[in-house]
Amino acid sequence: MEIHPLNQSQVDRPRQRAVEFRTMNVRRWDRIVAAWAAGDDQELDDAWVDQVVDLGSQWGQYEYVTNVGFAA
């Protein structure tokens, strides 16, 4: 999976963060896809957080995203 950082050009300069492009392997999509298909935003949030913690100490930078795309 590719994680692209948010465009922060509209954020005031002192509040901008340097967030890098990242990749990670997600082996179990079942919970994420089921929550998305059900429209369950809270479950989708919980399932996403369970995956991004694998990014180690930087996981909080990727906790909030504006979209996630699925492709096969």
pLDDT at 42: 95
Classify residue 33: in a domain, yes or no: yes
The model carries a pTM of: 0.65
Classify residue 23: in a domain, yes or no: yes
Residue 61 half-sphere exposure toward CB, CA atoms < 13 A: 16
Whether 8 has a pLDDT exceeding 70, the answer reads yes
Could you read off the pLDDT of 10-66 as tens digits, one per residue?
A: 888 888 877 777 788 888 889 999 999 999 999 998 998 888 888 877 777 777 776
pLDDT at 40: 97
Classify residue 69: in a domain, yes or no: no
pLDDT at 67: 66
pLDDT at 10: 82
User: What are the CA-CA distances from residue 3 to residues 7, 9, 62, 67 (Å)?
Assistant: 12, 18, 8, 10
- Give the number of domains in the chain: 1
Classify residue 71: in a domain, yes or no: no
